[in-house]
Each structure stands twice: as C-alpha cells, then as structure tokens.
Amino acid sequence: MKTDSLKDEGLQRTASNGNGEVENTTTEDAGLQRGLAGRHLMMLAIGGVIGPGYFVGMGTGLSTAGPAGLLLCFAIVGILLWAVMQSLGELGAFIPMSGSFTHYTSMFLDPALGFALGWNYWLLWAGIIIAEYNNLGLVLTYWETPIPRWGWIMIFWGIFLAFTFLGIQSFGEAEFWLALIKVIAILAFFLYLVYA
C-alpha cells in the first residue's frame, strides 16, 4: 500500500523507538493502558507454549511417534507457528488497533469470516480451559487424596478466578510466577534425565 492509500482509509504509520515499543498508536485514544511489564509478557508467552499438554500428553505422542517423530512434528508445527506470528506481528506493526487478530480478518477478507474466526477462537479457548482444569485434577488425584478430582478443579478455578478479578497487575504476577514454576520444573526434569 502507498502512503496516499493509507490516508484514504484513515490509517497512519506509527513510529517506534529502538526497543520496538510503539510510541504513537491509536490505542491511546481508545482508553487502553499497558498494565503488563515486559517480563510478564515474556513469561506469559513461555508459559502458554509449555501448557499442561507438555507434562500430561507428551507420553502418548512419544510412545506413538518415537523421539525422532516427535521432534519432527515439533519442528513442523514450530515453523508454521513462527510464520503465523511473523505475519501477525507485521500486521500489528503496520496497522496497530485495539482488538484481536480477528479484526484483521474482518478488515482484509470478510466481516463474516472475522466473526466466525472470533467464535472459533472462543470455542478453542473454552475447550483448552476445560482440558487444563481436567489435567490439573488428574495430576493431583494421582496420589491418594481425600479431595476428588472435581474438588481440585473447583479449588483452582476459584483461585484463578480471584486473580482475574484482582486486576491486570495481580494476573500478570500470578502468570509470571506460575510460568516460572513450569520452566524450573522442565529444567529439573531435564537435569534429572541427564544425571540419573
């Protein structure tokens, strides 16, 4: 797109400093604030990549595909995800807006497709939340405990709901420390496997 066509559509280029932070965005006009620090965002991304499937579901993939097959699958999916995230990053830097990636779909393809993509994304995360709580209950009831699986699910649902209602700072701190625990656990498992 040329600069003239950008002005015709009401879009403007944004300036950024050396750290990659956008200095002049339209999101400031929308009343949005940046409540998460860089460390929160970094650990949120790392914790989101690790997920509960890494600890619970890895054994099935490893026994089915073997170590080489599992690494090959991780490499293929990683390349695809890298391409998607690069594209979203380019769109976000070129046209910053206060909204999800579904707004780009509505803008460049079709509003109906953006609407369908938004609901698909919501259903995906609704299913992931259910799977995460179920895996949490499954892991905690592996040992003999007087609390049933649904009890653990309700306990942690209440804890995470409280962090969500406390605001973005509390949510960011909780996600930071929980993701750090995941990273430390993976490093501990790795060291145990190397030295055991």
Q: pLDDT value at position 182?
A: 87
Q: pLDDT value at position 37?
A: 84
Please report, in angstroms and rounded to a whole number, the separation of the first and last CA atoms in the chain.
Answer: 58
| Residue 43 burial (C-beta neighbours within 10 Å; 0-12, 13-18, 19+) | buried
Chunk the chain into consecutive blocks of 10 residues (it has 196) and report each block's average pLDDT, rounded to whole numbers: 52 55 54 78 83 73 86 92 91 84 89 94 90 84 85 90 85 88 89 85
What radius of gyration, in Å, describes the C-alpha atoms of the chain? 21
C-alpha to C-alpha distance for 151 and 141, rounded to whole angstroms: 10
Cα 12 to chain centroid, rounded: 28
- Token pair, residue 117, equals 């993509």
Cα 177 to chain centroid, rounded: 15
Asked if 56 contacts 138 with a C-beta cutoff of 8 angstroms, the reply is yes
* pTM (predicted TM-score): 0.64
From 161, 178, 184, select the one nearest 43 (Cα to Cα). Answer: 178
C-alpha to C-alpha distance for 189 and 193, rounded to whole angstroms: 6
Q: pLDDT value at position 180?
A: 92
Single-letter code of the amino acid located at 8:
D
